Amino acid sequence: MPLPNEQPDATRHACSLLLHGADNLLGMIIKARHGPSLARFLEELNHLRPDRTVVSASAADDVFFGGIDVSATLHAGHVVTQEGVLARASLMVVTSAQLLDAQKAARLVIFLQGMDKAPPIILIDESADDEENIPDILERYCAFRTLLTEQHLLALKIQKPWRPQLIENDRCLPVSQEQLVLATTIPIQFGLDDPRWGLFLLHAARCQASLRGADDVKLDDFEEVASLIIANRANKLPEEQDTAKPEVEDSEPSADSKPQQQEDLSPQDILVDAIKSAMPEIMLANLQQQNMQQSNGKSGRGPAKTGNRRGAPRPPRQANGHKDRGIHLGKTLANAAPWQRSRRAAGITRPHEGPIILPDDLALRRYAQESDRLVIFGVDASGSSAMARLAEVKGAVEQLLGQAYIHRDHVALVSFRGQDADLLLPATRSLVQTKKKLAGMLGGGGTPLATGMAACRQEALRARRQGLTALVVLLTDGRANVARDGSANRDQAKEDASAMARQFRAEGISSMVVDTGRRASTDLKELASMMAGRYQILPNARADQLSQMVGDALRPRSIA
Amino acid sequence: MNLNFPFTAIVGQDEMKSALIMSAIDPTIGGVLIFGSRGTGKSTAVRALAALLPPITAIKNCPVNSSEATQTPNWANLKVKRKTKIPTPVVDLPLGVTEDRVTGALDIEKALTKGEKAFQPGLLAKANRGFLYIDEINLLEDHIVDLLLDVAQSGENLVEREGLSVRHAARFVLIGSGNPEEGELRPQLLDRFGLAVDVGNPQDVAQRIEVIRRRDGFDQNPQAFSEEWQKQESNLRGAIVRAQHLIHRLQVPDQTLEDIATLCAALGSDGLRGELTLLRAARAYAAWDNKASDVTRNHVMAVAPMALQHRLRRDPLDETSGRLRVHRVMEQVFASSK
């Protein structure tokens, strides 16, 4: 049974709504891997709106926002600016949108918000699962989020071409008090706290109603659009028992407004069901599990990666093509100066008196940049690490966190116990989040040391791709007893851990092992030397020594 | 032109609104830092404030909005110096901004074509006598933030680069907003802001419905919605102007000064900046109060949390909010002295 929201139709439906009511719906995110489904959708979109502009997220800033056209400026002798695509586009499609960093995303949103009539924007999120995310600020700018998967190739073949009627939307349809309440409360039930989602829901329902040519907004309209906004974003599932009305029944129980739905399902329930049935299975399962554990609404993601464009100025360098950085005027003129006579002699002319500057002369400003640093804590939460020790370990990590905070380092948190390892917190600079995660960390079970190391390694490699300097701090008592395949085989477990350690060394991942056992373990010492990392035993280590060590380990910047 | 959502139509968020109003009444308070998750109306409030503020008198075309002809900078080369009314400048500082654009720099065009050394003013000049707003301040590059705070502190922008040596007045109210979940602001920057407020989403459903209703009403027909709120807007504008006049006539009794000093000492806030800000904020609040002739303890208590919560010596791992600590200490200090 195909899930409604995974069908290409959800995406197309959302897109029709967006094009219909762009002023209020602003944008949509399509999560799709590169493939035939996406290709077909883009082709159809092209057909529908040949005026659309497609830009890759990795394009330079001035492609988006405009800037100085250097070669034209040099030729004309006065500053020639060029508009960015945002200013010109009537419909923006951004591919590989997961590559946008928080800064660029924020710029994008602020730019769009400042426009008189911002173009609708379609962001294609081509990330593999949870590897990278669209920055939060963009996520919240866009009304819809849909999935486009490759599971329906056959369906794709037989599917009718998408040719929605695009009509001008200039009517403002009224909504009832009941619908207003619905729009407000439904997103909250799914753990979406921002009032924006409620607004989007209202706008989308209006669009839906006007698309079908109606004069009033019905519950059906909400049902049609709710999943497009909420299903792929939900943070939790509504609690089963009290989907009943919240305490705002004061206005009027509405004598006339619910004639159709007689079968004692409240509008709330109908919408909740519609959204739930549109959720991807995995997501639904995860959320259900989370609900069982505790209905603690988790906070949003926060991948805080700031760009590396700061630091003290360095000597300028010859420019190759123009980039986002500033031009170093002095050096440029100095480059051009010796050639002036020969250039004039060679008959190169300019409409002005000034020096003749050719693109080759341009020098760019450069900045010395220190890579941001990432400390990945791999915390052994197994039973052998024991409850009491776990508290101590948490204490040590907290101390290190304080240190990281002062140095403005990023931190990530991996815990391993039982049979697997969890990335509790992807790289972030938010101390609050880290603390929350750390406090909620559970203990008990076997020690899958190699699995934990693998998770840390993955995080380190990802950080490296993002240009961060990473350090893995492994806190464990070293009694590996669960192998990578999950079996409780002590020898195999040890062998796996050694293999992992060699991999760390081969890939040049900086590391450090903190022995949390009561006595120093020779195994761990060996492991540390295999990883080419430092070794420290916790009981002897004062917190300040530990952070000193972390600092030392990061300083050499052996990788980068 | 894009219409702004009316300031007075913002539901709840009273602390943020009053912090913004205080800083409009007395710009020397030193700016406002608004921290909170998205969707809490931070940006809306700041942009709405711009529309609300009374116009100022300035020399026409002066790049730094000087109020008197004698204050216009030489490098502006103004021939005619005529006074005119302009809206209070509210300048947006975009995230990707370069240092040149902020401080101003050599005018490259003139330098290349005419061989003239001319200064092209930047955003700091534009913001003089007004507001400078940075959304997502925690994502702004560190060296730009440093630069901004230096200027905000000294009230003067000093450009020494590319053979230029220019200085001009740059007095503005710095307003920063951000989401702590996405990275925290460096602690040394926090206390450079006069006031700090945390905002959250209203938990009350009825209030949330009202938020959505109004915002929806605005989205559907900005023109009509703004007209509907015209009266409230002009009332508030009038009140701000009144308070701006009144503030100079207010007395600060010794008792109030003592209260302020005691409170700051008890909280262990660093330096004198806390005391001064608290005094100014309390005075602005008293002026806003309209009936007061003195600045009293009540005024101090009303603004203490926003003036002090970000100045406390902070253990980065201590989760008690600054607000709570200010409240606690206030209760202790003032209970015993009464």
Contact of A326 with chain B, judged by CB distance below 8 Å, is answered with yes
User: Which of A366, A399, A420 is the C-terminal boundary of a domain?
Assistant: A366
Record the tokens describing residue A33, joined without a space: 């891997």
CA distance to A63, A190, A239, A282, A435, per residue, from A295 (Å):
44, 11, 8, 18, 19
State phi, psi for B32 to the nearest 5 degrees: -130, 135
Same domain, A334 and A428: no
Q: What is the DSSP string of A219-281?
A: HHHHHHHHHHHHTTT-SSPPPSTT-S--S-TTS---SSS--S--SS--HHHHHHHHHHHHS-H
* Cβ count near A516 (within 10 Å): 26
Residue of B nearest to A202 (CA): B216
Q: Indicate whether A188 pLDDT > 80.
A: yes
With 0-12 / 13-18 / 19 or more C-beta atoms within 10 angstroms meaning exposed / middle / buried, residue A58 is exposed
When pLDDT is averaged across residues B199-221 and rounded to a whole number, the result is 85
A135 within 8 A of A20, measured Cβ to Cβ: no
Q: Which residue in A137, A197, A358, A436 has the most chain B C-beta atoms within 10 A of its own C-beta, making it the best mutation to test that interface?
A: A137
Contact of A67 with chain B, judged by CB distance below 8 Å, is answered with no
When pLDDT is averaged across residues A109-117 and rounded to a whole number, the result is 82
**DSSP strand pairing (A373-380 vs A469-476):** parallel
Q: Indicate whether A41 pLDDT > 80.
A: yes
Predicted ipTM? 0.75
Same domain, A106 and A33: yes
| B positions 239-258 inside 8 Å of A (CB) | none
User: Which of A336, A366, A396 is the C-terminal boundary of a domain?
Assistant: A366
pLDDT confidence of residue A481: 81
Which one is predicted more confidently, A407 or B229?
A: B229
Cα A278–chain centre separation? 22
How close are the terminal C-alpha atoms of chain B, in Å?
A: 55
The closest alpha carbon to A327, from A63, A79, A85, A76, belongs to: A79
Q: Indicate whether A244 pLDDT > 50.
A: no
Q: Indicate whether A252 pLDDT > 50.
A: no
Q: How far apart are CA A178 and CA B104, in angstroms?
A: 54
Secondary structure (3-state) at A365: strand
Same domain, A481 and A406: yes
Q: Indicate whether A176 pLDDT > 60.
A: yes
Q: How far apart are CA A478 and CA A462, in angstroms?
A: 25
Q: How far apart are CA B159 and CA B106, in angstroms?
A: 10
User: Which residue bears the tokens 């004069």?
Assistant: A215
Q: Which residues of A touch B38 (CB under 8 A)?
A: 136-137, 140, 194, 196
Record the tokens describing residue B57, joined without a space: 């008198």
With 0-12 / 13-18 / 19 or more C-beta atoms within 10 angstroms meaning exposed / middle / buried, residue A43 is exposed
Q: How far apart are CA B282 and CA B297, in angstroms?
A: 9
Number of domains into which chain A is organized: 3
CA atoms within 13 A on the CB side of A392: 20
Q: Which residues of B touch A307 (CB under 8 A)?
A: 141
Q: Indicate whether A139 pLDDT > 80.
A: yes
**Strand order across the beta sheet in which A420-428 lies:** A420-428, A410-417, A373-380, A469-476, A510-515, A534-537
pLDDT confidence of residue A147: 85
Residue of A nearest to B111 (CA): A354
Residue-wise over B118-152: b if at least 16 C-beta within 10 A, else e? ebbbbbbbbbbbbbbbbbbbbbbbeebbebbbebb
User: Which residue bears the tokens 């698309």?
Assistant: A211
Q: pLDDT by residue (tens digit) across B253-312? A: 888 888 888 888 888 776 688 888 899 999 999 998 877 788 888 888 888 888 888 887
Q: Indicate whether A130 pLDDT > 70.
A: no
When pLDDT is averaged across residues A300-313 and rounded to a whole number, the result is 38
Which of A153-157, A360-364, B64-68 is the least confident region?
A: A153-157
Q: Indicate whether A99 pLDDT > 80.
A: yes
Q: Point out the residue among A61, A299, A405 whose CB comes nearest to the CB of B181.
A: A299
Q: What is the mean pLDDT of chain A?
A: 75
pLDDT confidence of residue A251: 42
Q: pLDDT by residue (tens digit) across B73-93? A: 877 777 777 888 888 888 888
Same domain, A332 and A396: no
Q: Do B139 and A102 touch (CB under 8 A)?
A: yes
Q: Point out the residue among B39, B111, B181 whose CB comes nearest to the CB of A194.
A: B39
Q: How far apart are CA B169 and CA B192, in angstroms?
A: 19
When pLDDT is averaged across residues A102-130 and rounded to a whole number, the result is 82
Q: Do A402 and B316 touch (CB under 8 A)?
A: yes
pLDDT confidence of residue B158: 87
Q: Indicate whether A317 pLDDT > 90.
A: no
Cα A297–chain centre separation? 19
Contact of B318 with chain A, judged by CB distance below 8 Å, is answered with no
**What CATH number has the domain bearing residue A34?**
3.40.50.300
When pLDDT is averaged across residues A157-180 and rounded to a whole number, the result is 70
Contact of A24 with chain B, judged by CB distance below 8 Å, is answered with yes
Residue A472: inside a domain: yes
Which one is predicted more confidently, A80 or B14?
A: B14
When pLDDT is averaged across residues A213-224 and rounded to a whole number, the result is 84
Same domain, A75 and A180: yes
Q: pLDDT by residue (tens digit) across A324-352? A: 456 777 777 777 877 888 888 887 777 66
pLDDT confidence of residue A248: 42
| Residue A343: domain span | 325-348+355-366
Q: Do B316 and A24 touch (CB under 8 A)?
A: no
Q: What is the mean pLDDT of chain B?
A: 83
Secondary structure (3-state) at B229: coil
Which of A163-172, A343-352, A408-417, B64-73 is the least confident region?
A: A163-172
The most confident of A367-371, B79-83, B218-222, by mean pLDDT: B218-222
When pLDDT is averaged across residues A1-25 and rounded to a whole number, the result is 71
Same domain, A341 and A386: no
Domains of chain B: 7-199 (3.40.50.300), 247-337 (1.10.8.80)
Q: Which residues of A touch B143 (CB under 8 A)?
A: 310-311
Q: Which amino acid is at B167?
A: R
Contact of A401 with chain B, judged by CB distance below 8 Å, is answered with yes
Same domain, A467 and A527: yes
Record the tokens describing residue A11, joined without a space: 């995406």
Active site residue B215: no
Q: How far apart are CA B135 and CA B320, in angstroms?
A: 26
CA atoms within 13 A on the CB side of A238: 23
| A positions 493-552 inside 8 Å of B (CB) | none
Residue A259: inside a domain: no
Chain A nearest-CA distance from B312, in A, is 16
For chains A and B, CB pairs below 8 A equal 157
Confidence band for A93, pLDDT divided at 50, 70 and 90: very high
Which one is predicted more confidently, B83 or B181?
A: B83
Confidence band for A392, pLDDT divided at 50, 70 and 90: confident
Q: Point out the residue among A77, A136, A195 whose CB comes nearest to the CB of B208.
A: A195
**DSSP strand pairing (A510-515 vs A410-417):** unpaired
Q: What is the DSSP string of B120-135?
A: EE-HHHHTTTEEEEEE
Q: Which residues of A touch B319 (CB under 8 A)?
A: 432, 435
Chain B nearest-CA distance from A147, in A, is 24
Q: How far apart are CA B32 and CA B46, in angstroms?
A: 10
Q: How far apart are CA A89 and CA A121, in angstroms?
A: 9
Q: Which of B215, B237, B242, B273 is catalytic?
A: B273
Which of A162-171, B94-103, B190-199, B275-284 is the least confident region?
A: A162-171
Report, in this order, helix, strand and coil percent for chain B, each rounded to 5: 50, 15, 30
Confidence band for B20, pLDDT divided at 50, 70 and 90: very high
Q: Point out the residue among A104, A195, A430 whose CB comes nearest to the CB of B184.
A: A430
Q: Which residues of A touch B117 (CB under 8 A)?
A: none
The closest alpha carbon to A20, from A184, A171, A197, A230, belongs to: A171
Contact of B314 with chain A, judged by CB distance below 8 Å, is answered with no
Q: Indicate whether A372 pLDDT > 70.
A: yes
Chain A nearest-CA distance from B276, in A, is 27
Same domain, A21 and A105: yes
State phi, psi for A77 to the nearest 5 degrees: 85, 0
| B positions 175-214 inside 8 Å of A (CB) | 179-184, 186, 201, 205-206, 208-209, 211-213
pLDDT confidence of residue A553: 65
Same domain, A276 and A386: no
pLDDT confidence of residue A250: 41
Which of A140-149, A541-550, B50-59, B205-214 is the least confident region?
A: A541-550
The most confident of A47-51, A336-340, A365-369, by mean pLDDT: A47-51
Q: How far apart are CA A116 and CA A110, in angstroms?
A: 12
When pLDDT is averaged across residues B172-195 and rounded to a whole number, the result is 78
Same domain, A341 and A273: no
Secondary structure (3-state) at B54: coil
CA distance to A58, A476, A510, A518, B61, per residue, from A547 (Å):
37, 17, 15, 20, 56
Same domain, A402 and A359: no
Residue A311: inside a domain: no
Q: Which residues of B touch A78 (CB under 8 A)?
A: 109, 113
Q: Do A431 and B221 touch (CB under 8 A)?
A: no
Residue A244: inside a domain: no
Contact of A119 with chain B, judged by CB distance below 8 Å, is answered with no
Reported in sequence order, the residue ranges of B77-218 that DSSP labels E, i.e. its strands, are: 83-86, 90-92, 104-106, 119-121, 130-135, 156-161, 164-169, 172-178, 195-199
pLDDT confidence of residue A36: 80
The DSSP element (H or E) to which B244 belongs, if any, is: helix B230-246
When pLDDT is averaged across residues A249-266 and rounded to a whole number, the result is 48
Per cent of chain B over pLDDT 70 is 91
Secondary structure (3-state) at A545: helix
Q: Do A248 and B219 touch (CB under 8 A)?
A: no
Same domain, A393 and A465: yes
Confidence band for A121, pLDDT divided at 50, 70 and 90: very high
pLDDT confidence of residue A303: 31
Confidence band for B208, pLDDT divided at 50, 70 and 90: confident
Q: Which residues of A touch B94 (CB under 8 A)?
A: 107, 110-111
Q: What's B164-176 look like in SS3?
A: EEEEEECCEEEEE
Which of A69-73, A293-297, A524-528 is the least confident region?
A: A293-297
Chain A nearest-CA distance from B116, in A, is 10
Which one is predicted more confidently, B203 or A385?
A: B203
